[in-house]
Chains A and B, each alone.
Chain A
């Protein structure tokens, strides 16, 4: 099997990793870089727990080969907080009960971030559509939708 020298930016830091061809981006993040905030559930694109932002857009990292991420920018859940201060989306999830077991949370928050980066004050429908690739077995979604909505309000007020 071929190996590849993969250069990519993860959470703003340039990284270089030698990886076999069959390494997924999810494995590279979790196993090579120790960034275990990215979860892996189904491994086939259905649950969204492995969602990361690739050049700002949400993708299922279980269905991206690490070699395909060469030269690109990846944002994982570890890249959101600034020091000990949570990102407004994280803070809203905590405050509004958008987190229960937490397994879906990193993916949910990154999907929400991709939405809020484009649309500061999304409608409920836009939020539901943006999160339609992320499954949650705990919350029943309503509190997640409310958290994203609140995060949008806070972000558009420029409050951190």
Chain B
């Protein structure tokens, strides 16, 4: 399969890149790992006149902890996230999700920025990042703005990113002790599979080790964008952790899902799977929050 013709630009820094995007207009596209964009180009789904490569932008690299926040550069690969020592404890669910994206070859190229900016409803990294209350750092010709990830997605393939903006990275508040999370994906097979349903759960326990101080459950592939389940969070926060509570919260999450019927699965099946996966994810998140090695994954 051949690629159409385009010009390729490799700006040296972020301001130059944003300037270039502004100058080239809507005919230009950013390319990071290319695992999504190049497939779309080969299929003729998009025909940009120019590609702007991010490979020289140092501003988009690195995992950096400071002042209770973790910065993850947009160019960080899924393979890097999956193996990162910075993603222990309450951040483990992000590494878990990254390790289930595509294949080893895809993970070595796929970036976190590309995974978020493609805005696929079934993408791997949005649910864990939504659970971790991540914020997206967007750079444009006028400077940088910060957007809550929950307000970033607008629809399948649609985000709030302007045509001359580049995602620099995400920032995550570092969970304290008593934070735990889990990510579960259901596909038709284990490797290289777009999720039928994916669920991430995060729990922050109060110092008593039993009361849920903060909780988030995020769902993928069951709505036009990845979503947080407000009903699940409401069912959990302030309650004492336990199996009955998790079952009720999982029911609540299923009620927030708005799945569709397609050739990969029916809406009813997907909703049912949200319930099952959400309960398991909450149990595993609890195990982790209590300092037990999260059970089966």
**Interface of A toward B, CB cutoff 8 Å:** 1-2, 4, 20-22, 24, 42-46, 48, 51, 54, 57-60, 62-65, 67-68, 111, 114, 129-130, 132-134
Contacts and interface: CB of A to CB of B under 8 A. Distances in A.
B53 interface: yes
B39 A58 contact: no
B108 A22 contact: no
Interface string B93-130: 00000000011111011000000000000000000000
A160 B9 CA distance: 45
Contacts of A42: 1
A132 B34 CA distance: 20
B105 A24 contact: no
Interface in B35-63: 35, 38-39, 42-43, 51, 53, 55
Nearest first, the 5 A-B pairs at minimum CB distance are A133-B103, A132-B191, A43-B1, A21-B8, A22-B3
B6 interface: yes
A59 B34 contact: no
Contacts of A57: 79, 108
Interface residues of B, number: 31
Contact of A45 (B10, B55, B106, B190): B106
Given A44-B1, A63-B109, A68-B55, A130 B8 contact: no
Given A44-B39, A68-B34, A1 B7 contact: yes
A46 B103 CA distance: 9
Contacts of B6: 1, 21-22
Interface of B: 1-10, 31, 34-35, 38-39, 42-43, 51, 53, 55, 79, 102-106, 108-109, 190-192
A63 B40 CA distance: 11
Given A43-B1, A44-B42, A133-B192, A67 B10 contact: yes
Contacts of A24: 3, 38
B293 to A, nearest CB: 18
Contacts of A54: 108
A7 to B, nearest CB: 13
A64 B34 contact: yes
Helix, strand, loop or mixed for chain A's interface? mixed
Nearest to A133: B103
A86 B55 CA distance: 35
Contacts of B5: 1, 20-22
B7 A45 contact: no
Nearest to A61: B105
Nearest to A67: B8
B108 A59 contact: yes
Nearest to A20: B5
Contacts of B8: 2, 4, 21, 65, 67
Contact of B103 (A4, A20, A22, A48): A48
A77 to B, nearest CB: 15
Contacts of A67: 8, 10, 53
B51 A21 contact: yes
B3 A60 contact: no
Contact of B105 (A4, A22, A43, A58): A58
Nearest to A114: B104
A4 to B, nearest CB: 7
A18 B236 CA distance: 60
